[in-house]
Structure formats: structure tokens, C-alpha cells
Structure 1
Amino acid sequence: MDFLEENWLELDWSPWVPFNAPREFWYIQKAPGIYRIRPNNQDLLMYIGETGQSLHKRLSGLRQTLRRGDLMPWSDPYAEAPGLWSWWVEWGLAKDTGTPVAPSKGSNAPPRPSSGGETDDTEPVMLEVSSAPLDASVSGRKGMENFLLYRYRQETGESPLCNFGRFHPRYRKSTTRSEGRRGGRLANNQKDNPAGFPGITPLEPVGNPGDSDWMGMEWTEHKPLRPEHAREAGEGAGLYLLADAKSREILYIGQSGDIAGRLPELCGKDWQGHEVQFSYQIIGQKVLPHNLREQEADLLGNYYENFRKVPAFQFQKSR
């Protein structure tokens, strides 16, 4: 599996380090970069992330946050912590029926116990992390993060369990600490968390960024980003592209649960002298947020694969 190797996509990945091995944690680099998390010795990823601080500091903090099994962590400062915690606790609950293992590919069901005989008292599946330093700007790191997510989805046909806002179906997520609502397991009579519903099939890497059939989509004809045109956009959830009218270079890749509402909002943004055009693709009338984010990452990842950069206005807070 390429995504588990120490040279995945020609990056200098550290060895896989267990979260409960403080001595081995010194393999984690003291530099900004990217990281990937998996269940111990399993052939799937739970999370791919990036940080502008020391990888060692970031991951040491995440490790400490996950030590308590009785309280789900807050969503800040480690956005991935609640999701990782929910799967970890669920594996612990399965301990009574056998040694827990990670969920099978393509499934959001709780882990299946092993088919062995007696139940053992060893610790449940532990998480492991591998990291790679990356000397890049914020947009450079986030571009690489989306490229890794795109390639992982192309390799496996699915997304990491805790990226894109995905969550365990039987848990509700903690809010930020300031909001003060702690997450936990749902009651038996409560419906599954929609964030735990299946991911969406990866987009097919065909065409070039900006083509009318890029990534197997049917992009609309480019129109000027002006209120009179934006108000004519189709109803529904989908993806959109903003491009320079002269060069047709893509300036921004986005997604929205309401394309007809989102495009008019963009008309008033400062595009720094660019004459901007838009194009879009409606995916459906109602699409789960994590499914839209998955396909947005497919587009960003393919763009990065082609140009080794992200669009000029991507990852700017004002967008």
C-alpha cells in the first residue's frame, strides 16, 4: 500500500510511531509539515493533516488530548481529536467480545472483533502516526494536504475516517471549548450521526483543470461573476470554479450546499483587479457536507498534481 510507505509521494516520512510509545515519539520531526494517522498495523488511514508549528509539538499535544477515555476532547485546538477519540472508545467497547480491529474498507460500522477464542486483556487497537517535514507557506502545506487526500482516495476509493468532518455514526461531536457542549455516544433510540454516513466515490481524473469535462464533471459555460449572472445559477448543492476571464487560469475552487446563494455572495469580494468568471456543477438538491468536501479535495488535489500549487485565492480567510 503506497500510502503507508516511508517514501509515499516522495516525501520524507518518519517511521510509524505508536501514540503510547513516548521514547519512539522522538522520531517525529521538530518542524512544520504534514502527518498521517492509522490504527496500529492496519492498512487504512484515519486522518491526514498539516501544521505550521513543530510536528513534534502538535502531535504530542494531540496524543495527550486523547489519553482520557471518559471525556470526548473539545474540537479545539485539535479538530481531529473528537473523531479519533470516538473510534478509539468504540474499539474499547468491543473489547469484551475479542481484540478489536479497525473497520473494514468501505464501511463505517464499528470494528469487528477478531475470530479468535478467548477474550484477552491487552489494550485495544492503538493509533500510530507518521510525519513528514514540509518547508512551505500555509497554502503550500494545505495544498499538499489536499493532494495527499486526493491520492489516498484514488488509491483506496474512500476517504480517511476522520477527514472532511466525517465522524463515527454512533457519536455526536464536541463543540469548541468556548461553546461548551461535550460530545459522546448517542443513545440507542437516537438516529445515526449523518457525518458517519458513507463517503462519496472519488472523481475521475480526466481532462485538465478548467476543461468543460475536468474530473468527469459537466461544468457550465463560463459567465462573468456579476449579480445578474450569478442570480441565474441553478438550485442545489455542488462545486464551483472561479477563473480569470482573460487567461482562464483558475483562481478559486469551492463547494456549497446552495450554489444559487453562494455565487451572488462572491460578487462583492475583492479579486484584486482580476475580471472573474464562474462555472459550476450541481451534484444534487441535498448533499452531505462531507461529500461536498471530499469532491472539493479531489479537484484541489488534481489541480495541485498538475501545477504543484493551489489557485491564487485558495485558503485566504476572507474568501
Structure 2
Amino acid sequence: MDYEGLVYIGETGRSLRGRIYALRRGIFNGEMPFSDPHTASPSLWTIVDRNGPGFEVSGATPPIVEDKQQRKAVEDVLIALHRWETKTNLVGNFGRMPPGYSKSKTRSTGIRGGRSDDDTLRSFREGVAPLEWENPEEVTDPNWMGLRWSARRPLEDALGYVPDGGGVYRIWNSGNCPPLEYIGESVSLKDRLVKHRRNRDGSLQFSYVPLPDLEEKFQLKQVESELLGAHWLACGEAPVDQY
């Protein structure tokens, strides 16, 4: 399989040169690199292993990225736009791997990945299709981004009205929205929103989208990231408490 176009989009608050060096470290070696110092390095190694070298890299340092929250939001914007325009998922983001490989763990474990035909591995799991981008600017509407959001309720009611399964959720202050307060994902919506209930003002509003068919954490992360990108495009800023 050839990989044309983008493979990975990332950000850093430190040295751009240093982060790119960490990403390329070991990807041309005979063994798969460990998942540190950069979690995407094993994915790039697999592409070299199958297709040979040929990567190109570019970076940008616009003034907006000096702010951590804005920088991380821009990363989600770029990932969201890539998904929307190409209808594909970046193979190196969200800890993913191309099919046919196991992934190296951190250097401290000493466990390296490599070729594998074990189809139970996460690398064999499909990513999530891009969202429909219906009504992208109305961040509290029941059909925002083409999803079916639950009816809004005060956060103090989270214990009794939230299912146990996985999905995405949003929290906002009715008197100061947009922007939203927070966008999140969880394999257990009830557990996560009950935690928010303990740590936040109970009068905040919330709604959620159950996504029972998404079995992998990285799949929920893909949806969350796209929502965060759409939020920034709609509001010009990230949710208040994000990142």
C-alpha cells in the first residue's frame, strides 16, 4: 500500500526542529523504533519498511501558536480539515499503525513491534469516517456536526440521565456560550460526566452522543478531535477549559 499525501500532523511547544528530529529518530533503522520519544515514529517506520524512504516534512510557526491552547486547537483544526477534505484518516495520528504491524512500546519496556498477522491488533481496526459537517457553526444545536445530541440537561442531573457506554459529550455555560466549556470523549459517558459533575458547577449544561459501535479509544479520539477543530472554526477559539 502506498501512502500519498499527509501521514502525520503534530504540534510542539518546544523546539520545532527538536520535535521533528524525535519523530524521524530510528525510522530508517532495521528495527522498529520505540514509541518514545515520539509515538508516531513506529508508524513511519512501517511505511519505510513497506515502501522505502521518501518522506518530506514541513513546519510553520505563526504567532497564534505561541499560546498553548490555540496551538493545540490549530492541530485539531488541521486534522479535522484533512479528514473532511480527503475522507481519510492520518495513519500516524492517535497512536495508530498501518495494518499488518504491532507497535513498539516505550523504551523502558524493551518491547519492539514489527510485522504481524494478528488481526486482533488495534492496527487492523478501521478509523472513523469523517463527520457530516451539518450545521457546523451552531455548537449547542441538537444536530451539530450531523450528530444526534441528547437533550440538554444541567450537569447536576448527570448521574441519572447518562448511559454507561462510550461516546462524546459537550459542556457549556448557557450565559456565556459560545464558546463551549469543554468537549470530551469516554468509553463510559456516565463515569466521565459524573466526574465532571463533582468538579464543576452543577448548573452547567451538557449533552452527549452515544457511539456504541466505536470499540477503540482512538476512534473516539478521532471524533473528539474533529469536533474540537469544528468548534475552533466556528468560534475562533477552543472551548474554555480544553487542553
TM-score by length of 2: 0.88
The structure whose residues are more often helix, as a share, is 2
1:290 to 197, 205, 218: 218
Q: How does 1:15-164 map to 2 (within 5 A)?
A: 43-69=4-30, 71-91=31-51, 124-135=52-63, 136-164=66-94
In structure 2, give the amino acid aligned to 1:178: S
Matched with 1:214 is 144
Number of residues paired by the alignment? 237
- Contact residue 25 and residue 41 of structure 2 kept, 8 A: no
1:299 to 207, 210, 227: 227
- Tell me whether 1:240 sits opposite 2:201 in the alignment: no
Whole-Å separation in 1 of the counterparts to 2:53 and 2:154: 53
Give the structure with higher Rg (CA). 1
- Contact residue 235 and residue 285 of structure 1 kept, 8 A: no
Gaps of 5+ in 1: 1-38, 92-123
How high is the sequence identity, in percent, across the aligned residues? 33
Gaps of 5+ in 2: none
Is the alpha carbon distance of 1:125 and 1:192 closer, same or farther for their aligned partners in structure 2, counting shifts above 3 Å? farther
Point out the more displaced range, 204-213 or 228-237. 228-237
Q: How does 1:7-22 map to 2 (within 5 A)?
A: none
- Contact residue 47 and residue 161 of structure 1 kept, 8 A: yes
SS at structure 2 position matched to 1:145: helix
- Tell me whether 1:310 sits opposite 2:233 in the alignment: no
How far apart are 1:150 and its partner, in Å? 0.6
How far apart are 1:52 and its partner, in Å? 1.2
How far apart are 1:192 and its partner, in Å? 4.7
SS at structure 2 position matched to 1:239: strand
How far apart are 1:177 and its partner, in Å? 2.0
How far apart are 1:223 and its partner, in Å? 1.4
Matched with 1:264 is 194
TM-score by length of 1: 0.69
CA deviation profile, 1:288-315 (whole Å, cap 9, x unmatched): 2222111111111111111221101111
CA-based RMSD of the aligned residues comes to: 2.1
CA deviation profile, 1:192-224 (whole Å, cap 9, x unmatched): 523332222211222211111100111111212
In structure 2, give the amino acid aligned to 1:75: S
Point out the more displaced range, 274-283 or 217-226. 274-283
The structure whose residues are more often strand, as a share, is 1
- Contact residue 231 and residue 264 of structure 1 kept, 8 A: no
SS at structure 2 position matched to 1:65: coil
- Contact residue 28 and residue 48 of structure 2 kept, 8 A: no
Whole-Å separation in 2 of the counterparts to 1:192 and 1:169: 10
- Contact residue 25 and residue 33 of structure 2 kept, 8 A: no
